[in-house]
Amino acid sequence: RNSKKEADLSLAQARMRDLDAQLNAKEADLATALSANRSLENDLHELRDQVTTLELSLQDTKKHLHSEMLRRVDLENHMKTLQEQMTFQKRLHEDELKEAKRIHESRIAEVESGRRREFESKLSDALQGLRKQHEEQIQEYKVELERTFSAKMENMQLSAARSTDFANAAREELMETKLRADTLTSQVNQYQSQNAALENRIRELQEMLDYDRDLNRRRLAEKEKEIAQVQQQAQTQLDEYENLLDVKLALDLEINAYRKMLEGEEQRLKLSPSPSSHSIATPATSQGRLLPHGKKRKIKARKRAHSTGFKTVQHASSSGNISIEEIDADGKFVRLRNNSDEDQSLHGWALRRHLESVSDATYKFPSLFTLQAGQVVTIWGAAAGASPGPSDLVWKSQKSWGTGDSIGVTLITDDGEELAERKIMQIPRGEESGEQDDDYEEVTGSEMEYPPRTKRRRKKKCCLVS
């Protein structure tokens, strides 16, 4: 009954640990969701800042385009002004030429008729030279104005095209930013709804956990009361047993004294000794010698081997928080335990298997696997034929961990350090000197009568009281 209650207590504690692990997982999921929400909010703020910057740049571009258009209008007005000035200069030159012709004709009319032809020829040559000079200057002015106007127009067209392209790109980027902002807003709303659902679920789990804790606490208190009652009953029976042993020892001593007195009387009277006295006194005295009051008793615990001809010997060592708890003799699984109070990430860690006739094989843990504090993980072979639990792992590339006379497994960290090792060997009985076939463990009487409550699993032992 006590073992059943201890089993129920262990089951309740295991369930409590599972609920704590689930609560920790949910809290981790909540923290991840909150961090994602914060990152999305930061992205949204950044996108809003980018939209504001793009709007400002678009306004600057529009202002620049407006200023360029004004400059273009100014240049066109300036060009028209130059054309008007050129027309005015041309008319002015024509008027001057006409005036010069009139003056020259008047002067020619005044000179002598003999020199009229000479002056006319010289005048015509001068007029032709002046006309050519004026035409060349007008052509140069025209070419320069056309070149300046074409260059200005090309520059204005290029700047207008660049401004248009930049405005189109800014408009497209603004549309994409708006679409992305809408998408992020919908995602934020979705994450907020998921966060609210997770918070409700966490609240429900917390209530369930509190209820289970209270229930387990009440059950644990009841179990402790029952254990205390059982220990008190055992102590009472032990006291009664010791009192009976004391009474028996006193009776044996008294019987021995009577036997000696009877033998002395028989010797004095020269009578034959009674045969029943030895048979009665011998077992009593032997029992009295074997069980004196307050003396410690020995308990021998025999360990079973896998076969009658071989003995299984295990060597284990660990220099960190993670230890190799168990290696299955049939090669089905290897079990690890986290002996610390903190979670341990096994990213980059590996288990190396050593067999006698087979080359070493290495199992690598998943990148995101974490061994919880105080928990165990079982790594099964691919052909183990067992259904792994939610926290167990499977070595898919190997059917089993191997069998043989010597199986070794080494735990290696991501830095290449050998953190733990366990080796299981089959040794023939009687081969090692100084060892017995059946190992035994000495336990004092106080340890047998008052078993301490420890969390270690104790093996079942066959006890013989001598």
Tell me the percentage of the chain whose pLDDT exceeds 70: 81
Kindly state whether residues 40 and 185 are assigned to the same domain.
yes
Q: How far apart are CA 411 and CA 345, in angstroms?
A: 13
Please tell me the pTM assigned to this model: 0.31
Interval 245-264 mean pLDDT: 90
pLDDT exceeds 90 at position 310: no
Closest to 24 in 3D by CA, of 193, 209, 192: 209
Q: Which is it for strands 406-412 and 418-428: parallel, antiparallel or unpaired?
A: antiparallel
Kindly state whether residues 16 and 148 are assigned to the same domain.
yes
Q: How far apart are CA 240 and CA 35, in angstroms?
A: 67
pLDDT in tens, 67-77: 889 988 989 89
Structure tokens at 35: 């961090």
pLDDT in tens, 420-454: 999 988 777 654 434 444 443 333 333 333 333 33
Residue 338: the pLDDT is 93
Domain boundary among 208, 243, 268: 208
- Contact between 315 and 423 under an 8 Å Cβ cutoff? The reply is yes
Amino acid letter for position 134: H
Kindly state whether residues 177 and 28 are assigned to the same domain.
yes
Interval 284-304 mean pLDDT: 35
Instruction: Let me know if residue 452 belongs to a domain.
Output: no
CA dihedral over 31, 36, 40, 45, signed as positive or negative: positive
Structure tokens at 104: 């020259």
Residue 150: the pLDDT is 86
Instruction: Indicate the pLDDT class of residue 309, thresholds 50, 70 and 90.
Output: low
Domain boundary among 208, 230, 250: 208
Lowest mean pLDDT among 145-149, 216-220, 229-233, 281-285: 281-285
Mean confidence (pLDDT) of the chain = 79
Residue 112: the pLDDT is 67
CATH number at residue 413: 2.60.40.1260
Residue 359: the pLDDT is 83
Structural domain span for residue 58: 2-208
Three-state SS letters, 280-329: HHHHHHHHHHHCCCCCCCCECCCCCCCCCCEEEEEEEEECCCEEEEEECC
Residue 113: the pLDDT is 66
pLDDT in tens, 181-190: 988 988 898 8
Q: Is 384 exposed, middle or buried (0-12, 13-18, 19+ CB in 10 A)?
A: buried
Kindly state whether residues 321 and 199 are assigned to the same domain.
no
Instruction: Let me know if residue 449 belongs to a domain.
Output: no
Kindly state whether residues 172 and 27 are assigned to the same domain.
yes
Residue 431: the pLDDT is 46
Kindly state whether residues 175 and 321 are assigned to the same domain.
no
Interval 92-117 mean pLDDT: 78
Kindly state whether residues 315 and 202 are assigned to the same domain.
no
pLDDT exceeds 80 at position 287: no
Kindly state whether residues 186 and 314 are assigned to the same domain.
no
Lowest mean pLDDT among 109-118, 302-311, 317-326, 350-359: 302-311
Residue 460: the pLDDT is 33
Domain boundary among 148, 176, 208: 208
Residue 337: the pLDDT is 93
- In the block, tokens 């095209």 appear at 161
CATH number at residue 101: 1.10.287
Residue 300: the pLDDT is 31
Instruction: Indicate the pLDDT class of residue 202, thresholds 50, 70 and 90.
Output: very high
Q: Beta-carbon neighbour count of residue 192 at 10 Å?
A: 12
pLDDT in tens, 335-364: 999 999 999 999 899 999 988 777 888 999
Instruction: Let me know if residue 267 belongs to a domain.
Output: no
Q: How far apart are CA 243 and CA 238, in angstroms?
A: 9
Longest alpha-carbon distance in the chain: 217
Residue 273: the pLDDT is 52
Lowest mean pLDDT among 6-10, 286-290, 367-371: 286-290
Closest to 394 in 3D by CA, of 423, 418, 369, 420: 369
Residue 334: the pLDDT is 93
Interval 41-58 mean pLDDT: 90
Tell me the percentage of the chain whose pLDDT exceeds 90: 21
Interval 312-327 mean pLDDT: 88
pLDDT exceeds 50 at position 267: yes
Residue 295: the pLDDT is 33
3-state secondary structure of 427: strand
Interval 19-42 mean pLDDT: 90
Of residues 245 and 391, the one with the higher pLDDT is: 245
Q: Beta-carbon neighbour count of residue 48 at 10 Å?
A: 12
pLDDT in tens, 210-228: 999 899 999 999 999 999 9
Residue 453: the pLDDT is 35
Amino acid letter for position 189: N
Instruction: Let me know if residue 141 belongs to a domain.
Output: yes
Instruction: Let me know if residue 414 belongs to a domain.
Output: yes
Instruction: Let me know if residue 47 belongs to a domain.
Output: yes
Specify the number of domains making up the chain.
2
Instruction: Let me know if residue 120 belongs to a domain.
Output: yes
Instruction: Let me know if residue 243 belongs to a domain.
Output: no
Instruction: Indicate the pLDDT class of residue 319, thresholds 50, 70 and 90.
Output: confident
